[in-house]
Protein backbone atom coordinates (compact mmCIF):
# COMPACT_ATOMS: atom_id res chain seq x y z
CA UNK A 1 0.00 0.00 0.00
CA UNK A 2 1.39 3.36 -0.97
CA UNK A 3 1.69 6.23 1.51
CA UNK A 4 -0.42 8.36 -0.79
CA UNK A 5 -3.36 6.07 -0.10
CA UNK A 6 -2.80 6.23 3.64
CA UNK A 7 -2.67 9.98 3.86
CA UNK A 8 -3.87 11.20 0.47
CA UNK A 9 -6.55 13.55 1.84
CA UNK A 10 -4.22 15.74 3.87
CA UNK A 11 -5.31 19.36 3.99
CA UNK A 12 -3.06 20.60 6.81
CA UNK A 13 -5.75 22.91 8.17
CA UNK A 14 -5.11 22.45 11.89
CA UNK A 15 -2.30 24.74 13.08
CA UNK A 16 -0.32 23.62 16.11
CA UNK A 17 2.86 24.31 18.07
CA UNK A 18 4.59 21.31 19.63
CA UNK A 19 6.51 20.91 22.85
CA UNK A 20 9.37 18.58 21.86
CA UNK A 21 11.90 19.30 24.59
CA UNK A 22 13.81 16.02 25.11
CA UNK A 23 11.48 14.19 22.70
CA UNK A 24 13.05 11.57 20.42
CA UNK A 25 13.00 12.79 16.82
CA UNK A 26 14.44 10.97 13.81
CA UNK A 27 15.69 12.76 10.72
CA UNK A 28 16.58 10.65 7.70
CA UNK A 29 18.84 12.35 5.18
CA UNK A 30 22.15 14.14 5.37
CA UNK A 31 21.98 17.09 3.01
CA UNK A 32 21.09 20.77 3.28
CA UNK A 33 17.40 20.09 3.91
CA UNK A 34 18.23 17.67 6.71
CA UNK A 35 20.64 20.21 8.18
CA UNK A 36 17.92 22.86 8.23
CA UNK A 37 15.49 20.45 9.92
CA UNK A 38 18.08 19.38 12.49
CA UNK A 39 18.90 22.98 13.36
CA UNK A 40 15.26 23.82 14.07
CA UNK A 41 14.78 20.65 16.12
CA UNK A 42 17.90 21.43 18.15
CA UNK A 43 16.57 24.91 18.87
CA UNK A 44 13.41 23.25 20.20
CA UNK A 45 15.42 20.98 22.48
CA UNK A 46 14.71 17.70 20.70
CA UNK A 47 16.76 14.54 21.13
CA UNK A 48 17.78 13.81 17.54
CA UNK A 49 18.83 10.65 15.72
CA UNK A 50 20.10 11.26 12.19
CA UNK A 51 20.24 8.44 9.64
CA UNK A 52 22.25 8.98 6.45
CA UNK A 53 25.23 7.37 4.68
CA UNK A 54 26.73 10.79 3.91
CA UNK A 55 26.21 14.03 5.84
CA UNK A 56 27.24 17.66 5.57
CA UNK A 57 30.32 18.75 7.55
CA UNK A 58 28.11 20.71 9.94
CA UNK A 59 25.95 17.67 10.69
CA UNK A 60 29.08 15.64 11.26
CA UNK A 61 30.28 18.28 13.73
CA UNK A 62 26.95 18.07 15.56
CA UNK A 63 27.46 14.32 15.93
CA UNK A 64 31.09 14.65 17.08
CA UNK A 65 30.02 17.20 19.70
CA UNK A 66 27.26 14.94 20.99
CA UNK A 67 24.40 17.18 19.87
CA UNK A 68 22.86 14.43 17.74
CA UNK A 69 23.17 10.66 17.38
CA UNK A 70 24.41 9.75 13.90
CA UNK A 71 23.73 6.40 12.24
CA UNK A 72 25.92 6.75 9.16
CA UNK A 73 24.18 4.29 6.85
CA UNK A 74 21.13 3.97 4.64
CA UNK A 75 17.62 3.85 6.07
CA UNK A 76 16.43 0.40 7.08
CA UNK A 77 12.99 -0.71 8.29
CA UNK A 78 12.61 -0.02 11.99
CA UNK A 79 14.63 3.20 12.02
CA UNK A 80 11.57 5.25 12.95
CA UNK A 81 10.69 3.02 15.91
CA UNK A 82 10.21 4.95 19.14
CA UNK A 83 10.42 8.41 17.56
CA UNK A 84 7.88 11.02 18.54
CA UNK A 85 8.45 12.83 15.25
CA UNK A 86 10.00 11.69 11.97
CA UNK A 87 11.34 13.75 9.08
CA UNK A 88 12.13 12.17 5.71
CA UNK A 89 14.66 14.38 3.97
CA UNK A 90 16.47 12.08 1.55
CA UNK A 91 16.83 12.71 -2.19
CA UNK A 92 15.26 9.32 -2.97
CA UNK A 93 11.48 9.43 -3.48
CA UNK A 94 10.96 5.70 -2.86
CA UNK A 95 12.93 5.85 0.40
CA UNK A 96 10.94 8.86 1.57
CA UNK A 97 7.75 6.98 0.77
CA UNK A 98 8.91 3.94 2.73
CA UNK A 99 9.70 6.17 5.70
CA UNK A 100 6.26 7.77 5.52
CA UNK A 101 4.53 4.37 5.34
CA UNK A 102 6.44 3.04 8.34
CA UNK A 103 5.84 6.14 10.47
CA UNK A 104 2.16 6.27 9.53
CA UNK A 105 1.74 2.63 10.53
CA UNK A 106 2.95 3.59 14.03
CA UNK A 107 0.76 6.70 14.20
CA UNK A 108 3.83 8.93 14.36
CA UNK A 109 4.16 12.51 13.26
CA UNK A 110 5.92 12.41 9.90
CA UNK A 111 6.98 15.09 7.45
CA UNK A 112 8.33 14.40 3.97
CA UNK A 113 10.29 17.44 2.85
CA UNK A 114 10.11 16.77 -0.88
CA UNK A 115 6.46 15.66 -0.93
CA UNK A 116 4.47 16.94 2.09
CA UNK A 117 1.31 15.10 1.00
CA UNK A 118 2.95 11.81 1.97
CA UNK A 119 3.16 12.93 5.60
CA UNK A 120 0.69 14.15 8.19
CA UNK A 121 2.24 17.52 9.03
CA UNK A 122 4.10 20.34 7.35
CA UNK A 123 6.47 22.90 8.77
CA UNK A 124 5.25 26.45 7.96
CA UNK A 125 7.44 29.41 7.22
CA UNK A 126 8.59 30.78 10.57
CA UNK A 127 9.79 34.11 11.86
CA UNK A 128 10.95 34.16 15.48
CA UNK A 129 12.10 37.14 17.48
CA UNK A 130 12.53 36.23 21.12
CA UNK A 131 9.22 34.93 22.43
CA UNK A 132 7.39 36.36 19.43
CA UNK A 133 6.78 33.68 16.80
CA UNK A 134 5.00 34.05 13.47
CA UNK A 135 4.19 31.07 11.25
CA UNK A 136 3.04 31.37 7.66
CA UNK A 137 1.36 28.71 5.54
CA UNK A 138 0.04 29.42 2.05
CA UNK A 139 -1.25 26.00 1.02
CA UNK A 140 1.84 24.93 -0.88
CA UNK A 141 3.28 28.09 -2.44
CA UNK A 142 6.80 28.47 -0.99
CA UNK A 143 7.55 31.71 -2.85
CA UNK A 144 4.48 33.40 -1.36
CA UNK A 145 5.33 32.03 2.09
CA UNK A 146 8.81 33.57 1.87
CA UNK A 147 7.39 36.89 0.67
CA UNK A 148 4.88 37.16 3.52
CA UNK A 149 7.48 36.05 6.08
CA UNK A 150 9.82 38.78 4.80
CA UNK A 151 7.08 41.37 5.13
CA UNK A 152 6.39 40.24 8.70
CA UNK A 153 10.09 40.63 9.44
CA UNK A 154 9.97 44.21 8.19
CA UNK A 155 6.72 45.04 10.00
CA UNK A 156 7.36 43.36 13.35
CA UNK A 157 10.96 43.88 14.35
CA UNK A 158 12.91 43.92 17.58
CA UNK A 159 10.54 46.47 19.15
CA UNK A 160 7.70 43.95 19.14
CA UNK A 161 9.96 41.18 20.47
CA UNK A 162 10.95 43.38 23.42
CA UNK A 163 7.33 44.36 24.01
CA UNK A 164 6.24 40.70 23.95
CA UNK A 165 8.86 39.89 26.60
CA UNK A 166 7.57 42.77 28.72
CA UNK A 167 4.00 41.49 28.45
CA UNK A 168 5.05 38.02 29.60
CA UNK A 169 6.37 39.50 32.82
CA UNK A 170 3.27 41.67 33.18
CA UNK A 171 1.08 38.60 32.74
CA UNK A 172 2.74 36.98 35.77
CA UNK A 173 1.99 40.06 37.87
CA UNK A 174 -1.62 40.24 36.73
CA UNK A 175 -2.18 36.63 37.78
CA UNK A 176 -1.25 37.61 41.35
CA UNK A 177 -3.96 40.29 41.52
CA UNK A 178 -7.21 39.01 43.06
CA UNK A 179 -9.63 39.00 40.12
CA UNK A 180 -11.79 36.77 37.95
CA UNK A 181 -10.73 35.40 34.57
CA UNK A 182 -13.34 37.61 32.91
CA UNK A 183 -11.95 40.69 34.64
CA UNK A 184 -8.44 39.84 33.51
CA UNK A 185 -9.61 39.23 29.95
CA UNK A 186 -11.33 42.63 29.90
CA UNK A 187 -8.16 44.25 31.24
CA UNK A 188 -6.08 42.79 28.42
CA UNK A 189 -8.62 43.89 25.83
CA UNK A 190 -8.56 47.42 27.19
CA UNK A 191 -4.75 47.54 27.37
CA UNK A 192 -3.78 46.08 24.02
CA UNK A 193 -5.27 48.52 21.56
CA UNK A 194 -4.28 49.65 18.06
CA UNK A 195 -2.91 52.81 19.68
CA UNK A 196 -0.52 50.76 21.84
CA UNK A 197 0.56 48.73 18.81
CA UNK A 198 1.28 51.92 16.91
CA UNK A 199 3.43 53.19 19.77
CA UNK A 200 5.48 49.99 19.62
CA UNK A 201 5.71 50.10 15.84
CA UNK A 202 7.07 53.66 15.91
CA UNK A 203 9.63 52.86 18.59
CA UNK A 204 7.82 54.45 21.55
CA UNK A 205 8.11 51.28 23.64
CA UNK A 206 8.62 53.06 26.95
CA UNK A 207 5.44 55.06 26.44
CA UNK A 208 3.57 51.85 25.60
CA UNK A 209 4.96 50.17 28.73
CA UNK A 210 3.97 53.16 30.84
CA UNK A 211 0.41 52.99 29.53
CA UNK A 212 0.21 49.26 30.33
CA UNK A 213 1.69 49.75 33.80
CA UNK A 214 -0.79 52.56 34.60
CA UNK A 215 -3.70 50.37 33.51
CA UNK A 216 -2.54 47.56 35.80
CA UNK A 217 -2.09 49.93 38.74
CA UNK A 218 -5.66 51.11 38.23
CA UNK A 219 -6.79 47.48 38.11
CA UNK A 220 -5.33 46.66 41.53
CA UNK A 221 -7.76 46.66 44.46
CA UNK A 222 -7.88 49.98 46.25
CA UNK A 223 -6.54 49.86 49.84
Rounded to whole angstroms, the Cα distance separating 120 from 101 reads: 11
| 142 vs 65: which has the higher pLDDT | 65
DSSP lists the bridge partners of residue 43 as none
Residues ≥6 apart with Cβ < 8 Å to 7: 100, 104, 117, 118, 119, 120
pLDDT for residue 4: 43
Q: Of the candidates 25, 27, 17, which has an alpha carbon nearest to the alpha carbon of residue 126?
A: 17
Environment class of residue 95 by beta-carbon count within 10 Å: exposed (0-12), middle (13-18) or buried (19+)?
A: middle
Is this structure's pTM higher than 0.85? no
pLDDT for residue 7 is more than 50: no
Residue 153 pLDDT class (50, 70, 90 cuts) = confident
Percent of the chain clearing pLDDT 90 (strictly above) = 70
pLDDT for residue 9: 47
Rounded to whole angstroms, the Cα distance separating 24 from 53 reads: 20
Residue 40 pLDDT class (50, 70, 90 cuts) = very high
pLDDT for residue 195 is more than 80: yes
Residue 16 pLDDT class (50, 70, 90 cuts) = confident
pLDDT for residue 107 is more than 70: yes
Amino acid sequence: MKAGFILEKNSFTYPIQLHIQSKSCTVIGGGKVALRKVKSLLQAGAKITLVAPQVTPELLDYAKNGLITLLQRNFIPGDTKGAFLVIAATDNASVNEAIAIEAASHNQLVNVSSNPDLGNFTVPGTLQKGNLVFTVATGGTPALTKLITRELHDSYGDNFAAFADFLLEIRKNIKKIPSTSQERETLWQNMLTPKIMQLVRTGNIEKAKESITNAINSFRPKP
